[in-house]
Structure 1
Amino acid sequence: MSDEWWVGVRRRVEAAGAGPGGSEVFGASGHKWVVEEPLTQDELAEPEAQIGVGLPEEYRAFLLYVGAGGAGPAYGLFPVRRVQGRWRWEGDGADLADLSRLAEPFPDQGPSPKLLADLLAQRPEEEDFDDIEDFDDAIEAWDERSEAVMFASERTVGAIAISHLGCAQREWLIVSGRHRGTIWSDSRVDDVDLTPLLDDDGMPVKFARWYTDWLEKAESTAP
């Protein structure tokens, strides 16, 4: 994809936001169709030096020719900004990413299916308790155990959270490892494990496809 193609993407986003149906697009109330200014080559080199790894090529081109963040899927694409001399991504859940470990490869898989099944099987049921306070204590202890497994920080090394879908559901861009450049869905809040987004052919969705799929749907809503 050429630099001109990405510049065209920015124009399309601006046109969709200015359309009469722009406010009807899901998430527009959050990003308000604002697209932050693109980064310069020198600016982009700074966060890459800070995290110790180059960003995936499609996302890198987006930052250079479309914008540093803003209007995008769901409630928007988390912007990358320099704050007090350090670069970071900002958004609801962006701080879940460990920026000091982005050069490490994103793991191939999370907890084993058996471990997840065991966790769910151990979830307390209210009818098993005579006292509601005992049940509340048991479910709180179970929540702590399951969160320690599902949300262990090492599960998302090499990845950045880039979008919030609402209700603590998010999407991640993989920066390092064999899944580099792909987008993963995160519905762990609903006991659904991290999973890669796949296209109609069962192939992993990369950043450009993820963003332009959203843009095409937005354009059809806001002609």
Structure 2
Amino acid sequence: MTTIWTGVRERVLALRTAPRMSEVFGAVWLDDHGHRFELLPPLTRDELDELEHELGTRLPDEYRAFLREVAAGGAGPDYGIYPLRPGAESNAARAKNLAVPFRPQEVGALFDEHQYNEPSGDCFTSAEEFSAAYRAWDARDDELREELFTGTLYLSSQGCAYYTVLAVTGPEAGTVWDDVQAAGEGVAPKRHNGAERMTFAQWYLDWLAYAERTAWKEPGPAA
């Protein structure tokens, strides 16, 4: 059966021998780091069933097919795809997070309002009052930052504390988003060719096309 993932694993692994593979962002860095276009084995059907049982939800179709046909992690956009396998200690925490739907607009509005209302020392009559108010504000800030990413799985690191996440539960399921807290913001959707949303397959296949163009590019003539 032909799917969107047919031949993708082979294309990625072929890049290990491409003449300019090190020029693809995230493939090689600091000499001995980078995904180097290596892929973990795909999940078996039984492993995927066990994983979804542990997570308490069915994964979005494009992503679950990727896990079955391409890899359970490894080479991918930025610094590569985080591994996802049954039996991982972190799956219990993931399940708890996925039990609440992803609500970027609703929680994002609360987050923006909260950021706007950060306490200022000018509004309090004593340092003690300001300190107590700021501690309460800071605790709520932590709560809202966690709530921003309920219903998601972290897919990859972009570097410099930026991440890509996949919406798993809720109406945005199957789309990819940026964790932009490092820029003082919250979460923002990735866009695709003018569309307001990007799916997991679009995200990964766009990266693969870029990686192939870069890694197989013939060097220009010598100056």
Normalising by the smaller structure, the TM-score range is 0.7 to 0.9
Secondary structure of the 1:6 match is coil
Secondary structure of the 2:213 match is helix
CA shift at 1:108, angstroms? 3.9
Counterparts of 2:59 and 2:22, CA distance in 1: 31
Q: For residue 49 of structure 1, what is the amino acid of its counterpart?
A: H
Q: 2:63 aligns with which of 51, 56, 59?
A: 59
Q: Deviations over 1:19-60 (max 9, x none)?
A: 011111101122121100011000100110111111110001
Q: Deviations over 1:90-125 (max 9, x none)?
A: xxxxx9x74323143211422327x52662574879
Q: Deviations over 1:59-90 (max 9, x none)?
A: 011111101010000000011134xx44647x
In the alignment, structure 1 segments of 5+ residues that lack a partner are: 90-94, 129-136
Superposition TM-score, scaled by structure 1 size: 0.78
Report the structure, 1 or 2, having the larger strand content: 1
Match in the other structure for 1:148: 142
Counterparts of 1:120 and 1:76, CA distance in 2: 35
Question: Structure 1 residues 112 and 104 mapped into 2: Cα distance closer, same or farther (>3 Å)?
Answer: closer
Secondary structure of the 2:46 match is helix
Superposition TM-score, scaled by structure 2 size: 0.78
Counterparts of 1:219 and 1:76, CA distance in 2: 15
Tell me, yes or no, if the aligned pair for 1:39 and 1:68 is still in contact at 8 Å: yes
Question: Structure 1 residues 120 and 58 mapped into 2: Cα distance closer, same or farther (>3 Å)?
Answer: same
Tell me, yes or no, if the aligned pair for 2:47 and 2:85 is still in contact at 8 Å: no
Structure index of larger Rg: 2
Match in the other structure for 2:164: 171
Secondary structure of the 2:100 match is coil
Secondary structure of the 2:204 match is helix
Counterparts of 1:71 and 1:39, CA distance in 2: 16
- Size of the aligned set, in residue pairs, is 201
The root-mean-square deviation of aligned C-alpha atoms, in Å, is 2.9
Aligned-pair identity (%): 39
In the alignment, structure 2 segments of 5+ residues that lack a partner are: 29-33, 123-130, 217-223
Q: Deviations over 1:107-160 (max 9, x none)?
A: 1422327x52662574879xx9xxxxxxxx9xx9699458425523x2222110
Question: 1:23 and 2:19 equivalent?
Answer: no
Tell me, yes or no, if the aligned pair for 2:55 and 2:94 is still in contact at 8 Å: no
